[in-house]
């Protein structure tokens, strides 16, 4: 089958990002153009394939002629746009945002099952966060281990809502949602019932795979959790003997 | 014959940590020989000296601030060391020792000294420093100049950053280590 030809109504615009002249389709966002041209922009809530959320504010960029910063994930390109993605001001804000995330909940990397596979941890390193200047809030959050296959640790959650979006938009189950405001804000399953009691969860695990941190993980991944089940052995052995 | 340049003096202390960062320091192995040509370790769990000299070039602290003794040592190091380094996640973030901040201190003590012992359950009070709440990273109580995250930071990381500090360069810490590394 021939590939569908791009719609001729979509125009191409030219713009300047970090002193590079680039062209893009007019329906693209700044972050998409940057990703295409290997211009690194940090982000935690944006994920290709999911709808735009614009919540983490890490992809903020400067646009010439505009006083306020804009999120690259939720800003469409425009003809003649002049964009800076890596200024001193942006680096300062990004570093502060990452530090705020670390100070808000309890991201103890050394004892996290996602240590070494965590986007927040990697981003902290990339943004030069070698310590957190703000005092840690030190407020404990609950852990929901009621699900047979997965676990939710609110201490590690940064509220990026990737789980909410993938469950709704890709799996079509809409098990996840958001409840509460400010520091009480948290992701919930069904109507804030334990995940293990959810009627809508299909156990597909997409939420676990898109979670950037150790907030959503597979059960049995932390130290000492591998439970051996050897019931099969005497049963099979007995049946073989009988034969 | 020219006299050799005076060696930099280095002091280290082990606050509330597991000593893993000092172990990682020892993992420098044969590079320790190169290091002692450039620096003199004047106070540390690794040497015999019992008192911190009045002036030290580089101070290195492992562990978080969890007790009155930790606080006193941190303040003394800050006062006497020209450059103060937080070594490892406990010093830099509070890390595992700070996880007790989610509980009442009395609950933590009961858990450790009453609930889990079978012989003479009692909470030690004599000859031990009083515990503080909350547990803080070192920079929560004194100013820190260089942060080396990692649990523990690898010998490579320590070598790279110490070499920079000795040479008077500003180390690019995030190029060599991260939280939890």
A223 touching chain B per CB within 8 A: no
| Record: contact B89-A124, CB cut-off 8 A | no
Task: Indicate if the pLDDT at residue A243 is higher than 80.
Answer: no
Report the pLDDT averaged over residues A127-153: 96
Cis peptide before B134 (omega within 30 of 0): yes
**Pairing of the two strands A216-218 and A150-153:** antiparallel
d(CA B14, CA B157): 18
- Please report which confidence band the pLDDT of residue A221 belongs to, taking 50, 70 and 90 as the band edges: confident
* Contact status, residue B146 vs residue B83, Cβ threshold 8 Å: yes
* Any domain includes B126: no
B59-68 pLDDT per residue, tens: 999 999 999 9
A81-123 pLDDT per residue, tens: 999 999 999 999 999 999 999 999 999 999 999 999 999 999 9
| Record: contact A110-B98, CB cut-off 8 A | no
Instruction: Give the best residue of A136, A213, A214, A223 to mutate against chain B (max B CB count within 10 A).
Output: A136
- Give CA A38 to chain center in angstroms: 20
* Any domain includes B180: no
Range of the structural domain that residue B47 is part of: 8-98+132-175
Would you state the pLDDT for residue B2?
63
Counted domains in chain B: 1
Q: Is B115 helix (H, G, I), strand (E, B) or coil?
A: helix
Would you state the pLDDT for residue B6?
85
* Any domain includes B107: no
What residues are paired with B61 via a beta bridge?
B13, B86
* Any domain includes B19: yes
B42-88 pLDDT per residue, tens: 999 999 999 999 999 999 999 999 999 999 999 999 999 999 999 99
In chain A, where the domains are located? 12-86, 93-218
Would you state the pLDDT for residue B8?
96
B99-119 pLDDT per residue, tens: 999 999 999 999 999 999 999
Report the pLDDT averaged over residues A167-184: 96
Counting beta carbons within 10 angstroms of the beta carbon of residue B88, is it exposed (0 to 12), middle (13 to 18) or buried (19 or more)? buried
The H or E element containing residue A124 is helix A119-126
d(CA A167, CA A111): 28
A115-139 pLDDT per residue, tens: 999 999 999 999 999 999 999 999 9
Helices vs. strands in chain B: H and E counts, helices first: 6, 7
Task: Indicate if the pLDDT at residue A227 is higher than 70.
Answer: no
Would you state the pLDDT for residue A237?
86
A1-54 pLDDT per residue, tens: 566 665 668 899 999 999 999 999 999 999 999 999 999 999 999 999 999 999
| Domain covering A12-86, topology | Ubiquitin-like (UB roll) (3.10.20)
d(CA A231, CA B10): 59
pTM exceeding the 0.80 threshold for the entire prediction = yes
* Any domain includes B29: yes
Would you state the pLDDT for residue A89?
96
A100 touching chain B per CB within 8 A: no
The residue among B3 and A169 whose pLDDT is bigger is A169
State the angle between helix axes of B31-38 and B155-166 in degrees (0 to 180), rounded to the nearest 10.
20
d(CA A31, CA A71): 8
Considering chain A, what is the average pLDDT of its residues? 93
For the domain bounded by A93-218, which CATH number is listed?
3.30.70.20
B102 vs A111, A124, A138: nearest CB: A138
* Any domain includes B114: no
In this prediction the ipTM stands at 0.93
Would you state the pLDDT for residue A136?
97
* Any domain includes B116: no
Which CA distances in Å does B151 have to A79, B21, B95? 49, 7, 9
The CATH number of the domain where B61 resides is what?
3.40.50.700
pLDDT more than 70, % of chain A:
94
Instruction: Give the best residue of A94, A99, A103, A110 to mutate against chain B (max B CB count within 10 A).
Output: A110
* Any domain includes B1: no
Task: Indicate if the pLDDT at residue B168 is higher than 60.
Answer: yes
Please give the structure tokens belonging to residue B167.
Answer: 């040479």
d(CA A147, CA A204): 12
Would you state the pLDDT for residue A138?
94
A108 touching chain B per CB within 8 A: yes
Please give the structure tokens belonging to residue A188.
Answer: 């919930």
Instruction: Find, among B31, B22, B80, the residue nearest to B52 by Cα.
Output: B80
d(CA A49, CA A57): 19
- Please report which confidence band the pLDDT of residue A232 belongs to, taking 50, 70 and 90 as the band edges: confident
Considering chain B, what is the average pLDDT of its residues? 96
* Contact status, residue A220 vs residue A227, Cβ threshold 8 Å: yes
| Record: contact A109-B96, CB cut-off 8 A | no
């Amino acid at each position: 089958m021939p590939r569908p030809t791009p719609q001729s109504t979509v125009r191409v615009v030219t713009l300047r990002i970090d002193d590079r002249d680039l062209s893009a389709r007019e329906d693209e966002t700044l972050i998409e153009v940057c990703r295409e041209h290997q211009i690194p922009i940090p982000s935690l809530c944006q994920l290709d394939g999911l709808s735009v959320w614009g919540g983490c504010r890490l992809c903020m960029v400067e646009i010439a002629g505009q006083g306020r910063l804009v999120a690259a994930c939720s800003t469409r390109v425009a003809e003649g746009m002049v964009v800076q993605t890596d200024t001193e001001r942006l680096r300062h804000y990004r570093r502060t945002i990452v530090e705020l995330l670390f100070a808000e909940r309890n991201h103890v990397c050394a004892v996290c099952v996602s240590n070494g596979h965590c986007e927040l941890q990697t981003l902290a390193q990339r943004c030069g966060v070698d310590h957190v200047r703000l005092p840690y809030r030190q407020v404990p959050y609950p852990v929901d281990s009621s699900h047979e296959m997965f676990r939710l640790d609110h201490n590690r959650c940064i509220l990026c809502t990737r789980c909410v979006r993938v469950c709704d938009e890709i799996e079509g189950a809409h098990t996840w949602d958001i409840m509460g405001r400010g520091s009480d804000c948290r992701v919930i399953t069904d109507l804030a019932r334990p995940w293990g009691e959810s009627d809508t969860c299909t156990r597909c695990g997409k939420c676990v795979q898109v979670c950037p941190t150790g907030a959503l993980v597979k059960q049995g991944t932390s130290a000492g959790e591998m439970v051996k089940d050897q019931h099969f052995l005497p049963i099979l052995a007995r049946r073989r003997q009988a034969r | 014959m020219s006299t050799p340049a005076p060696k930099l003096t280095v002091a280290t202390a082990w606050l509330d940590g597991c000593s893993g960062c000092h172990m990682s320091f020892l993992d420098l192995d044969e590079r320790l020989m190169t290091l002692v040509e450039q620096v003199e370790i004047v106070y540390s769990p690794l040497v015999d000296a019992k008192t911190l000299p009045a002036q030290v070039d580089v101070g290195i602290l492992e562990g978080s601030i969890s007790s009155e003794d930790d606080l006193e040592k941190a303040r003394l190091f800050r006062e006497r060391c020209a450059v103060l380094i937080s070594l490892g996640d406990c010093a830099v973030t509070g890390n595992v020792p700070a996880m007790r901040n989610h509980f009442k201190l009395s609950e933590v003590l009961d858990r450790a000294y009453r609930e889990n012992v079978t012989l003479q359950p009692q909470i030690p009070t004599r000859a031990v420093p009083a515990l503080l709440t909350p547990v803080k990273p070192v920079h929560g109580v004194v100013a820190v100049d260089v942060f080396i995250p990692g649990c523990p930071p690898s010998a490579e990381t320590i070598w790279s950053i110490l070499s920079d500090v000795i040479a008077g360069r500003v180390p690019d810490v995030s190029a060599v280590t991260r939280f939890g590394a």
